[in-house]
Amino acid sequence: MDLELAGKVVLVTGGSEGLGAAVCARLVREGARVALCARNAQRLEATAAALRTQGGDVLALPTDVTRPESLERFIEAAHARWGRVDALVNNAGSSAAGPFSAVSDAQWEEDLQLKLFAAVRAARLTVPHLRAAGGGSILNVLSIRAKAPGAQSMPSSVTRAAGMALMKALSKELGPNGIRVNAVLVGMIESGQWARRAEASGKPPEELYAQMSRDAGVPLGRIGRAEEFADAVAFLLSPRASYISGTALNVDGGLSPVV
């Protein structure tokens, strides 16, 4: 299926590794122009270089999405390079989780700044460009815990739930401008942070992934691949999903108890 993304300009926060890098690679294969950002400049440039070897038209800019001026510089640099913006992927984040009594005010604030306020600011800065382009798409990368929070899942589950509410409200408000807003809710999927955890424990990643799948009871019997997540994101961003908006799609192998 041609996703009709060739020539489209897509911004991806948290694009240097794991799920974000997989999204960037999928978009490049579709012919999209991709601007990616992350805090780690060395890792970001390595990912950008790999994308360029695949023929990608890529802009990579070290960015701290929790700093408004840094985020603004990233978005304006992408617009200055290509003269338009067609889509935004709010992917920057982490999986901070613990018991309620152990989460400090500072940790709540840090999580909200990284996952919620960064997405708010990125959308605010991008929407004028989407309107100028005649419409576009915003996608928030969240977690299945946004719908089904569990014990000892804070602050992340609460922040992700706020991100889902943001998505739904924006889909209503921006729909008349031809701007679709959706979310992908991630279950257990291969990522850079899991690979680093496996390395720290002395286990091969495949062994850790198999154990995680068994312990969690994933109905499909395995951990998801980053490429499978990226396929879902690329479709929702594309014109082929032109009548899908305000939707939170679980990409979790059937793990979530909530539709």
What tens digit of pLDDT does each residue of 212-250 get? 999 999 999 999 999 999 999 999 999 999 999 999 999
Judged against a pLDDT cut of 90, whether residue 34 lies above it is answered with: yes
For residues 213 and 137, state if they share a domain.
Answer: no
**Which residue did the predictor score with more confidence, 204 or 95?**
204
Over residues 61-84, the pLDDT tens digits come to 999 999 999 999 999 999 999 999
Q: What pLDDT is stored for residue 241 in this prediction?
A: 98
Q: Does residue 207 form part of some domain?
A: yes
Average pLDDT over residues 33-39: 98
Question: 29 and 82, same structural domain?
Answer: yes
Q: Is 138 inside any structural domain? A: yes
CB atoms within 10 A of CB 106: 8
- Express each pLDDT in 135-183 by its tens digit: 999 999 999 999 999 999 999 999 999 999 999 999 999 999 999 999 9
216 lies in the same domain as 181: no
Structure tokens at 195: 């690979």
Please check whether residue 80 lies inside any domain of the structure: yes
* 98 and 214 housed in the same domain: no
Residues 126 and 83 in one domain: yes
Strand residue runs (E) in 63-152: 87-90, 97-98, 136-143
Contact predicate 196/208, CB 8 Å: no
Residues 96, 209 within the same domain: no
So what's the pLDDT on residue 28? 98
Lowest mean pLDDT, pick from 25-29, 53-57, 208-212: 208-212
Instruction: Check whether residue 218 and residue 99 sit in a common domain.
Output: no
pLDDT at residue 193 is higher than 80: no
197 with 137, same domain? no
What is the share, in percent, of the chain residues with pLDDT greater than 90?
91
Quickly state the pLDDT bin for 94 (edges 50, 70, 90). Answer: confident
For residue 155, say if its preceding peptide bond is cis, omega within 30 degrees of 0.
yes
Please check whether residue 257 lies inside any domain of the structure.
no
* Beta bridge partners of residue 186, listed in sequence order: 143, 251
User: pLDDT value at position 104?
Assistant: 96
Regarding whether 153 and 129 lie in a shared domain, the answer is yes
pLDDT at 219: 98
33: CATH: 3.40.50.720
Gyration radius of the chain's alpha carbons:
17
pLDDT of residue 30: 98
**What residues make up the domain containing 72?**
9-187+226-246
Whole-prediction pTM: 0.96
Mean confidence (pLDDT) of the chain: 96
- Count structural domains, the chain: 2
Distance CA 205, CA 54 (A): 26
Query: At 110, which helix (H) or strand (E)?
Result: helix 105-111
pLDDT band at 195 (very low <50, low <70, confident <90, very high): confident
Domain co-membership, 163 together with 208: no
218/231 same-domain check: no
**Predicted pLDDT of residue 196:** 81
- Partners of residue 161 on adjacent β-strands: none
Tell whether 251 is covered by a domain: no
pLDDT confidence tier of residue 199, bands split at 50, 70 and 90: confident
Domain shared by 165 and 200, yes or no? no
Residue 194 has pLDDT above 90, yes or no: no
Residue 254 lies in a domain: no
Q: Is residue 3 part of a domain?
A: no
125 assigned to some structural domain = yes
Residue that the structure tokens 């946004």 belong to: 146
